[in-house]
Structure 1
Amino acid sequence: MKKLMIYFTLMFLALSGVAATEPADGGVNAYYYAAYLDTAEAESRLKSAGFDIVGHYAATAKSETLIITNSALQTAAGKPGRGFGAILRVLVDGEHQRIAVTNPVYFGKAFLQQDYDPVLAEQLTTSLTSALGTMSASEDSFAFDKLEGYHFMIGMPYYEDTYDLAEGDTAALVSKLDTYNGGKNIVFKLSVGEGKTLVGFALSDDTKAFVDTIGQQNAEILPYTILVEEGKAKALAAKYYIAISYPMLTMGEFMRIVNTPGAIEKELSTPFK
């Protein structure tokens, strides 16, 4: 019965123009695009498809990001060091008049690493298609079998090379984020298991301007996330997170935002000082 269900899932995705598994050539797209919906309609459809909306973020002057999750995704991300994979991001892109959504296969493999579950990725993609309609693949792509060990180039960080922002009592670390700047930087807080909290953190206008420089089409990269677990607060290194979110980024384009990674690390660390 399980195999039969998977078969019909794959057939549904194929008819919808969406491939939820590793393509034959090994490349997998980072994003999907769907017809434009306003924020209220997109949110309503996503909720009807079984997603929880945990945060809203003004990505650009004309775009808004919806942070979404469901119980299955939270369970998968509840393992140590996997909390960054607890969410998907949906960009209501007024600039390009479309909806953009993070591909569960691409970011699932990248952020859940060895714990990536292809069946879950298929289920999530089916739910997204149910909510948003026909989706087309973005040109942004990378080799599926290299996502787990992704790094931009020699000497650049991997997934596990996180910013270690602070150590201490887990609840106290979350409290510092809550109270910093009157809580204005908190976009969302999501429990991803006992003693594990994923926090969406709004960067300053100056720091988040890197999106304008390298491409607003992937503006759902923000808000940045901080994972608090086991007495530590950590975040994905910006040289990793930006590069994997912009897989078509060139070295020349990366050099245009050369000061951004340091600025991001400094801002994420400040609440804990």
Structure 2
Amino acid sequence: MRKHWLIGCALWCVAQLSMALAPYTHASPLPAADLNAQISQIEGKLKSEGFTLLGHHVPKGITGQASIVVSDPAMLAVIQANGTGSSIVAAGLRVGIAQDGAVSYMTPEYWYRAYLRNHYAGAQTAVKSIEQRLAKVLGSGEGFGGDVPFAQLTDYRYMFGMERFDSANSEIGSFTSFDEALNTVQSNLNKGFGDTQRVYEVVMPAQKMAVFGVAMNSASDGEGWWVNKIGTDFPAALPYEVFIVDNKVYALYARYRIALAWPALGMGQFMGIINAPEAIRNTLARVAAASTANN
């Protein structure tokens, strides 16, 4: 009986691994070339398959890589309809490019399961369409970046005691209305507070929700220093997001957001960037600050 139990446990573990998802997917490579030329080439391909260009990000302090952010009309419709404003964070789809010609993109099912959570079931038609069109226009190779059982993504956290998607410390600002929150974030990004820069934005005023891709450019506490420490192999991990739901502003706390984007990191690597979560939060809180006198 014990032998049968052990065999059953082993088969269950294998089954769980086979149902795991990686955060990124290898695409067909481009010839090594100027990064701006590669960005333009990939943007053209994405537009040809019905994706809407939102912006691109060339991170400061990370050599020879960029990401392109697009949206998909069907996914935006799902986000509008699903009844939970926090799903707006899923509006941007990121494609990564390296100067040596490597191309990758965020694995749609991985990120949408994590960001849409209990509303993922209603998005599967849109997700499948996105997967098929990305594979058609960019190619579809192996997944990489780690493996997370898909059943865990809905309520993902790296380990016990660490943050999940809806942790309280993801809130970074509160206002009297959606319009006040939106105007504040837009104004602060326009002025570059916290040494930040807007990469993209998607605003759904009727639903009172919005999301911004934010470049964090500071040499001392921006994204460059901590990404270089944990690995620059995932250009589709950036940019970071700030999002608004009703009158509140959020940025997914980094012990969740970094872990979701780099799920294979060891604890020693996390300890090497122990100051990053609060540095990120402090930077993005300046973007969401109602009083800008000290920014």
Conservation of the 8 A alpha-carbon contact between 1:237 and 1:261: yes
Provide the secondary structure at the position in 1 that maps to 2:148.
strand
Residue segments in structure 1 that go unaligned for 5+ positions in a row: 1-21
Which of 173, 182, 186 is equivalent to 1:174? Answer: 182
**CA distance 1:24–1:145, change in 2 (3 Å):** same
1:209-220 equivalence runs, <5 A: 209-220=225-236
Is 1:99 the equivalent of 2:103? yes
Aligned to 2:244: 228
Q: d(CA) in 2 for partners of 1:246 and 1:192? A: 29
The question of 1:196 aligning with 2:209 is answered yes
Cα distance, 1:36–1:144 mapped onto 2, change above 3 Å: same
Q: How does 1:150-169 map to 2 (within 5 A)?
A: 150-161=156-167, 163-168=170-175, 169=177
Secondary structure at the aligned position of 1:217 is classed as: coil
1:46 counterpart residue number: 46
Backbone CA RMSD of aligned residues: 1.9
State yes or no: 1:90 paired with 2:95.
yes
Q: Secondary structure at the match of 1:43?
A: helix
> 1:175/1:212 Cα in 2 relative to 1: closer, same or farther (>3 Å)?
same
Q: 1:73-105: CA deviations, max 9, x gaps?
A: 11222332211111210011225x311100110
Report the CA distance between 1:187 and its aligned residue: 1.5
Report 1:134-153 matches (<5 A).
Answer: 134-153=140-159
Give the structure-1-normalised TM-score.
Answer: 0.86
Q: Runs of 4 or more off by more than 4 Å in structure 1?
A: none
Whole-Å Cα distance in 1 between the matches of residues 85 and 185 of structure 2? 21
Pairwise CA distance, 1:33? 0.8
Q: CA deviation at 1:212?
A: 0.7
Alignment pair present for 1:34 and 2:27:
yes
| Alpha-carbon shift at residue 26 of structure 1 (Å) | 1.6
* Residue identity opposite 2:209 in structure 1: K
Name whichever of 201-210 and 173-182 sits farther off: 173-182
1:71 lines up with 2:73 in the alignment: yes
Further displaced range: 50-59 or 132-141? 132-141
Partner of 1:80: 85
For the pair shown, the structure with the greater C-alpha radius of gyration is: 2
Secondary structure at the aligned position of 2:104 is classed as: strand
TM-score (norm 2): 0.80
One-letter identity of the residue aligned with 1:217: D
| Aligned-partner Cα distance in 1 for 2:164–2:104 | 25
Listed one character per residue, the Cα deviations across residues 206-263 of structure 1 (whole Å, up to 9, x for unaligned) are 3212111101111332221111121111111110000010010110000000000000
Structure 1: distance between partners of 2:262 and 2:166: 18
Cα distance in 2 for partners of 1:234, 1:241 equals: 12
Q: Cα 1:269–1:134, aligned 2, differ >3 Å: closer, same or farther?
A: closer
Q: Distance in 1 between matches of 2:77 and 2:154?
A: 19
The 8 Å contact of residues 49 and 137 in structure 2, kept in 1 or not, is answered as: yes
CA distance in 2: counterparts of 1:120 and 1:193, whole angstroms: 22
- The match for 1:244 among 251, 256, 260 is 260
Range with greater deviation from structure 2 (105-114 or 63-72): 63-72
Q: Percent same amino acid at aligned positions? A: 24
